[in-house]
Structure 1
């Protein structure tokens, strides 16, 4: 995985934001500040555990998205004093030959507006940068949620949105500069005023904050250039609401669906991660540079029989030899593995492992890139 292991990074953040036996959003409003390096740490240890590396990689994706021509104009918003600035002032868009959309920002106006305190919002940043996409997918996989990533850039010391709440859960990841967050201690209150004793904190780069849905908060700059990501997500992709709505329509009552039922329903959804396996699927080639990961957006369900496995993923069922159980479990954790790493960690002989990977690529439950 280029840049950093997004899955391991997301796992570290989610574990730090959770409590024993829980993950966000069940753990409520939580703040994670990465520990400072110890004097005894070697340079290699400091680099391996420093939040700077992933933050810098994600920040590079932000700057790349700003410079990328052709991105949808609707992915960008400029908000000043609570109102959206007309895009014609700070963006140029035209349709060229072959109906190709050409979009470019107007730096002079944009820079001036941000310096005055306006906030530039980039919606669905995961569609514009691979590293952000990998982090978004890792969060989805571990939280059984549908997720998306918005980016906020400002250089003022005011709030563009005042006190408000969102109808989705969110993880806030500070990438550059500092930003002042005030978050109501009454989760789900949708209040217009923050309660006494609410979280009041200035986020530094590498800091992560969990804000459950319907929780009032106020965000303001600190007078310096600041960039943060908001990873919005919906646990179990609204399956709970769908089940309860169906019960109401039928006039029946039943216990709320448990996590096992919800996880199985998600495995039946066709949702797929971004990525392709064309080369490996057609030629069977798998090399040292190949990155292999599970293709479904949500974890599969694996059932073990006497001599076989039944794997349910993206709404399909695969019957596999039970001897593949350990390797299927390894692959379905959600992270990306290089071919050498997979060989080292799997209990299968290399020829059998190669056959499994090729079968997975051809049947689209494994993504093999590179």
Structure 2
């Protein structure tokens, strides 16, 4: 894979969309324009800059191209995940038998291919191809999804939308989750009601009305009415849906309601600890390192839990709470554990360069982490 640093890119997007101390969705409807300037923007349009007020430093120049390559890869190999694909035309879902061929073979394996002739003509007519959970189909998108989850303490997923028409496949609507919109190819027209929580079928005067171009990112909080349409050219965008603190906040409020007590907003530290207790694991296998103990130059290492762990220092070591388990380690490993638990994927040579441990001790830690499934070691 390329040197695309999904963690750094996600960090850049989130800081560019947020106010000081207020990351999405708390910062409301906001638009990050990438390398574009705010010149010519409508008055009052929420063009954003980094949280510290300094000029936005540009994201990796190839970020959109890297993610777009992931979209084309997923489109070329739908494989067994045929149900991840939907074709919507004039507000209705097109029967899959028209544009997709599937057969069962080699035991119980489902072989799926797309029918290019029908698919191409449908998209030209204005149909929209939707690839749900595209993070399950491409590693580049998966790493970005993981990075968003880690930094927002959220459960996240990614859908992709491809169209070449100028109409909208969906009417004005709102979603029951927060979303980040990332434009990858072409231009797409977005109208978003800036009244967060407004489910009206009519957008309010002064709503955001912009055409997104590649590299631009839009934050749309849950229950916010919006309408999307093409511009008559081939366009691709990703919608990163996410639920901050998964459903823990709703669970806490529901518990208070059942007890008939007042429901204060749950403490963020408590929510983060509860997330660390969840067993949710990232996709990935460490079979080679776990069974043979091998860690090579091409090995990439990342934390295995879907949500950030909680790390506590004690008199005799450190205690890691992750995926519902407590792991005790020597205090000498604290700095390296902190590095690994950031959530990004690190190549072995980068880990060696950044860690304060001797290479032999570091190798033992990585092997131990793979064996005990709190580190994912691939390659």
TM-score by length of 2: 0.92
2:9, 2:59 within 8 Å by CA — same for their partners in 1? no
Is the Cα contact below 8 Å between 2:257 and 2:263 reproduced in 1? no
**CA 1:319–1:97 in 2, change beyond 3 Å: closer, same or farther?**
closer
> What displacement does 1:61 show?
1.5
* Residue 97 (structure 1) shift: 3.3
Secondary structure of 1:364's counterpart equals coil
SS at match of 2:107: helix
SS in 2 for 1:19: coil
How many Å separate the matches in 1 of 2:368 and 2:103? 44
Return the match for 1:148 from 157, 162, 167.
157
Farther-moved stretch of structure 1 (234-243 vs 336-345): 336-345
- Aligned equivalent of 1:341, options 319, 338, 350: 350
CA 91–52 in structure 1, closer or farther in 2 if over 3 Å, else same = farther
Distance 1:31 1:169 in 2: 14
**Closer, same or farther: CA 101–81 of 1 in aligned 2, 3 Å:** same
How far has the Cα of 1:340 moved from its partner? Answer: 1.8
Q: Conserved in 1, the CA contact under 8 Å of 2:12 and 2:59? A: no
In structure 1, distance between residues paired with 2:127 and 2:100:
15
Q: Given that residues 156 and 225 in structure 1 are in contact (C-alpha distance below 8 angstroms), is that contact kept between their aligned partners in structure 2?
A: yes
What does residue range 171-250 of structure 1 map to in structure 2 within 5 Å?
171-250=180-259
For residue 36 of structure 1, report the CA deviation from its aligned partner.
Answer: 5.5
How far, CA to CA, are the matches of 1:363 and 1:369 in structure 2? 15
* Structure 1, unpaired ranges of 5+: 38-47
RMSD: 1.6
Tell me what 2:97 maps to: 88
Query: CA 1:51 to 1:165, structure 2 compared with 1: closer, same or farther past 3 Å?
Result: farther
1:322 aligns with 2:331: yes
- Number of paired residues? 360
Shift of 1:293: 1.0
Corresponding residue for residue 126 of structure 1 = 135
TM-score (norm 1): 0.94
Partner of 2:46: none
Tell me what 2:28 maps to.
28
Gaps of at least 5 residues in structure 2 are: 38-56
Structure 1, 339-348 or 123-132: larger mean CA deviation:
339-348
Deviation at 1:311, TM superposition (A): 0.4
